[in-house]
Structure 1
Amino acid sequence: MSDLLGRLRGRGWRMTSQRRVVAEVLDGDHVHLTADEVHAAAARLLPEISRATVYNTLGELVTLGEVMEVTSEGRAKRYDPNAHRPHQHLVCSVCGTIRDVHPVGDPLSALPADQRFGFAVSEAEVTYRGLCPGCAAKA
């Protein structure tokens, strides 16, 4: 699990029923939902939750560094609760499904010194693209 709820409780984040539901929807591994998907799932648990509340809560979670925004060319932003675990993403080029992956090795070491152009590189963001099993079966 992403342990998002535990992290938020540990920070003393004011846990209203609306915030709790948004955090519950996001909590878990391989969770990369759009804001609309978060709203739809939250509304099943708390029908009176508004879209604005979901958007505001997501924005606050991103600002707190508890959730990451993941963007993929031409697609809606997705929200990843695994903000405190180093990982990369595997993205389906057709349907946009995103999975967290944990390749062995340090991606920073993959960039040779002569290709750093004097940059003091502090992080690397790697995205693997391909076809998920469902889209590959249709191809």
Structure 2
Amino acid sequence: MSDLLHRLRDRGWRLTAQRRVIAEVLDGEHVHYTADEIHALAVERLPEISRASVYNTLGELVALGEVIEVTTDGRAKRYDPNAHHPHQHLVCSGCGAIRDVRLSGDPMAVLPEAERFGFTVSEVTVTYYGRCPECAALG
């Protein structure tokens, strides 16, 4: 059973067949699917699942804090189930592939006090951009 399914069960979230399939599709460390990709993969497991069920469930999972919405460069929103493990993202500027990366240091420590302009910083998001090996091979 996936980490996401365990977390949802622990919360007492009602796992209908549709919700279970969506959680199963989201299983994995480097999963960053769009809602349409999640729907297509869910249909393979449960042909009668509707696009509305996928969108509604993703909205609920985001509101619960169990899934993170990731948006990069105006591309479609992607959904990251790795919500409870601190990480940042590495994004291919060619194909849009996203990988989770774990920084060895504290990203909060990188911002000097003088550059905080009096802000109380509560969250840091770092996104690295580059080209994945497949896109780099294309030139």
Same fold (TM over 0.5): yes
- How would you bin the TM-score normalised by the shorter chain? over 0.9
Unaligned runs of 5+ in 1: none
What's the C-alpha RMSD, in Å, of the aligned pairs?
Answer: 1.1
What pairs with 1:1-139 in structure 2 (closer than 5 Å)? 3-139=3-139
Shift of 1:103: 1.3
**Counterpart contact for 1:2–1:82, Cα < 8 Å:** no
**TM-score by structure 2 length?**
0.98
Aligned length: 139
**1:2–1:119 Cα change, 3 Å:** farther
Unaligned runs of 5+ in 2: none
Shift of 1:90: 0.2
Identity fraction in percent: 73
Amino acid at match of 2:26: L
Shift of 1:36: 0.2
**TM-score by structure 1 length?**
0.98
Q: Deviations over 1:48-84 (max 9, x none)?
A: 0000000000000000000000001120000000001
Which SS does the other structure have where 1:128 is aligned? strand
Shift of 1:4: 0.5
Shift of 1:2: 6.4
